[in-house]
Amino acid sequence: MAQGSLNKATLSGSSTNDNRKVDNFARRQKLSQHRRSLPIATVERRLIDEVRKNDILIIVGETGSGKTTQIPQFLFNAGFCKEGKSIGITQPRRVAAVTVAKRVAEECGVELGQRVGYSIRFEDVTSSSTRIKYMTDGLLLREALLDPYLSRYSVIIVDEAHERTVQSDVLLGLLKNVQIARSKSNGHLDTETNKPKNGMVLEKENDVQSSIFLKHDQGKKFPPLKLIVMSASLDARVFSDYFGGAKAVHVQGRQFPVEIFYTFHPEPDYLDATLITVFQIHLEEALGDILVFLTGQEEIESVERLIKERVLQLPENNQRLVIVPIFSSLPSEQQMRVFASTPAGYRKVILATNIAETSVTIPGIKYVIDPGLVKARSYDPKQGLESLTVVPISKAQALQRSGRAGREGAGKCFRLYPESEFDKLENSTKPEIKRCNLANVILQLKALGVDDIIGFDFIEKPSRSAIVKSLEQLFLLGALTDECKLSDPVGRQMSKLPLDPVYSKALIVASEFKCLQEMLITVAMLSVESMFYAPRDKLDEARAAMKFFSSPEGDHLTLINVFRAANEFMEKKNLTCGKEKADKILRKWCKENFINSRSLRHARDIHNQIREHVQQMGLRIVSCGDDTLNFRRCLAASFFLNAALKQPEGTYRTLASVIWPQWDCGKLLNHVQTDTRNHHIPYNNVFFQHLQCGDIAAGRVWYFQFGVELVYVLASTVFQKLS
């Protein structure tokens, strides 16, 4: 009997193994067929030749042609990873780095983290055997701090360069220097002309900001670095010009005709128009997946809920819709769902932010719905305020979006605005470096030894006033000395933390004032989107739940209460079960307490990561217990740039930055300690339209009160609303 059952088990075991092998084999075959069918497959040899001939190559190709997934594999197979060197590919977005790395590992038939891996802030899935490494551009900038010659890479590919994120713009400037320095180190630079012998042309004699390199590895020889800049849009010229006339090659993509539809009139409610269009397509058009461009997580989640509600009202045979959201902060297992094939007879509706414009190529799309909006960063250097606002897209973005419908066959794009509005759109999107706070980037450049920020060879220079403003902020945070050099230890420590300078400062000052444990939690909790949620049908319950956590000492302490309550709960459960089960238990707790479980889990992850960073830096993690005064002082000493003054009519005005230069942070600490009521603080006349009631419930506003009249509004990124 025992024998029999054993046999049976072994038998069934081996047959599942066999099945799995067959499945794997079929999957591998399908993948390799897919790879061969990509437009880029036909030009593999030519591309490799061009990379061999040119130290810098610009590759332009339509989205979906196979640039991101295939080119690194071509290079690997062509022997570009000899002597343990790697190929690094940077992406502007974490989502792209993760999904693409997973895909490429699968195509190569290797385990993720082995030959193919990825590294993003707070998550490193690589090993010593990783040769193809996807990462965010910000991460590569950080690597340059430790390894200024980027010596482990033979090739660096800057992907999605057309996105023109701050980090990728800065990275291009840095890579230009690294390339020249490496050529110099091994005599590849023509000493007479100061040009690398093959390919690149320097514009100025002093193009290499040599201070970065002189300190390090002097006399050491480095093999030349190959640089590839990849872009989906048409404008290769700016990159080519920037690199002194570098060679650009075009990869033909597949593009079938896309029929464009406009609305007759402007839509008063584009979300409603989106819903109507989704169902119109679903009920009237042939099968094929729909891609909807929305502006952010909250919008995506509410549209998802509305579609799910309405689909249930359809006759049963019309209910075959699969809805998949994709946005940056979605956990990566869930992001991968967009790539799962749609069950037969079903239609997939993908609700995406602009990451689906070019970063992530989703197969199967036949219809695109484009409300024509995007959430973008904007920065007002005068006030020193950065905000995320919903703005119209550019014509180039509209074209990219509609193009997504025609990769596998003819498609349709529904623009939810009249054609006359399209004509009014800007031709292309303004590079981010022209519209964001530069403090972070400047801190990193300073740490890399680039002292002359205004003279740095940016592909497009940010305005002088934005640079000055950001320098001023860093100065106020104590990161720069009077001579505008990185201060030691504060500035240097700040540059080591992969965080917004304000957060870094908060941690450093908190370690001094013995409340780092609280500040770690605060920074982690502020790094994620809304912590509380209040479903419309349970508003009262949600409010009551929130009250339970809320602290009269401010929202930061409220957040700490939430974090600790979750920790205590999990500890009490003494979970020895696996991660999956623990996650499930935590999700349940979140639901009962009206906490956004995705945000909380994300915050717990970030907390662990930052804790490691500060421990490595040797900071002591101590709690201030119930005496939160020092903790609140530390908040004020680091978040003071977000301070606003409450007006009698209930609105808020930001404090003028002119006040701050009079204080260093030590003085500021003293200042908040004293009675602030009699202190005349000048403020400017900005009227905050968007300061209204309600957002506290969404968890986006953080306030802090001293005395009666002065209210510091400490938003994580933007001033939002305060009740």
By C-beta, is 400 or 597 nearer to ligand ADP? 400
Of the candidates 59, 75, 44, the one whose C-alpha atom is nearest the C-alpha of residue 158 is 59
**Separation between Cα atoms, residue 398 and residue 371, nearest integer Å:** 10
66 binds, among ligand ADP, Mg ion, none (CB under 5 to 8 A by kind): ligand ADP
Is the Cβ of residue 337 or residue 611 nearer to ligand ADP in the bound state? 337
Task: Check if the beta carbon of residue 674 is closer than 8 Å to that of residue 524.
Answer: no
How big is the CA angle at 570 (ends 564 and 574), to the nearest 5 degrees?
A: 135
Among ligand ADP, Mg ion, none, the one that 99 touches (CB under a kind-dependent 5 to 8 A) is ligand ADP
* 69 contact, one of ligand ADP, Mg ion, none, CB 5-8 Å limit per kind: ligand ADP
The residue among 66 and 199 lying less far from ligand ADP, judged by its C-beta, is: 66
CB nearer ligand ADP, residue 68 or residue 527: 68
Contact status, residue 227 vs residue 158, Cβ threshold 8 Å: yes
Q: Measured from the CB of residue 23, what is the shortest distance to ligand ADP in angstroms?
A: 17
How wide is the angle at C-alpha 72 spanned by C-alphas 70 and 77, nearest 5°? 95
Can you name the residues that pair with 375 across neighbouring β-strands?
Answer: 390
Closer to ligand ADP by CB, 38 or 645: give it.
38
136 binds, among ligand ADP, Mg ion, none (CB under 5 to 8 A by kind): none
> C-alpha distances in angstroms, 471 versus 166, 431, 438, 687?
16, 20, 8, 25
Question: Nearest approach, Cβ of 627 to Mg ion (angstroms)?
Answer: 52
CB of 63 to ligand ADP, least distance (A): 4
**Between 30 and 538, CB nearer to ligand ADP:** 30
Cβ(341)–Cβ(364) below 8 Å: yes
Tell me how far, at minimum, the Cβ of 341 lies from ligand ADP, in Å: 9
Q: Name 471's Cβ contacts closer than 8 Å, sequence gap at least 6.
A: 442, 453, 480, 484
- Name which of Mg ion, ligand ADP, none residue 339 binds, using a CB cut-off of 5 to 8 Å depending on partner kind: ligand ADP
Q: How far is the CB of 35 from Mg ion (least distance, A)?
A: 15
Residues at the contact surface with ligand ADP, assessed by CB under 6 A: 38, 61, 63-70, 99-100, 103, 339, 361, 363
Q: What is the CA radius of gyration of the chain?
A: 27
User: Is 168 one of the binding residues for Mg ion (CB under 5 A)?
Assistant: no
Residue 54 contact partner, candidates Mg ion, ligand ADP, none, CB within 5 to 8 A by sort of partner: none
Matching residue, tokens 């989640």: 301
Site for Mg ion in 48-87 (CB under 5 A): 67-68
Q: Is the dihedral of CA 602, 93, 212, 451 positive or negative?
A: negative
Question: What distance in Å separates the CA atoms of residue 21 and residue 722, rounded to the nearest whole number?
Answer: 59
Quick one: what does residue 371 bind among ligand ADP, Mg ion, none, with the CB cut-off 5 to 8 Å set by partner type?
none
Give the ranges where 54-192 is alpha helix by DSSP (H). Answer: 67-77, 94-108, 137-146, 166-185
Least spacing, CB of residue 408 vs ligand ADP, in Å = 8
Q: Which does 546 bind (CB under 5 to 8 A by kind): ligand ADP, Mg ion, none?
A: none
231 binds Mg ion (CB under 5 A): no
Q: Are 607 and 528 in contact (CB under 8 A)?
A: no
Closest CB 710 distance from Mg ion, rounded Å: 49
Task: Choose the contact partner of 65 out of ligand ADP, Mg ion, none; CB within 5 to 8 A by kind.
Answer: ligand ADP
CB 408 within 8 A of CB 437: no
Nearer to ligand ADP, 95 or 453 (CB): 95
> In whole angstroms, what is the distance from residue 370 CA to residue 293 CA?
5
- Name the minimum Å distance from CB 326 to ligand ADP: 11
- Give the nearest distance from C-beta 76 to Mg ion in angstroms: 17
227: amino acid identity, one letter: L
Minimum separation from the CB atom of position 404 to Mg ion (A)? 12
In the complex with ligand ADP, the residue whose CB is nearer, 37 or 318, is 37
C-alpha 381/C-alpha 463 separation (Å) is: 9
558 touches, from ligand ADP, Mg ion, none (C-beta below 5 to 8 Å by class): none
Contacts of 711 (CB under 8 A, 6+ apart): 644, 645, 646, 652, 703, 704, 705, 722
Residues that bind Mg ion (CB under 5 A): 67-68
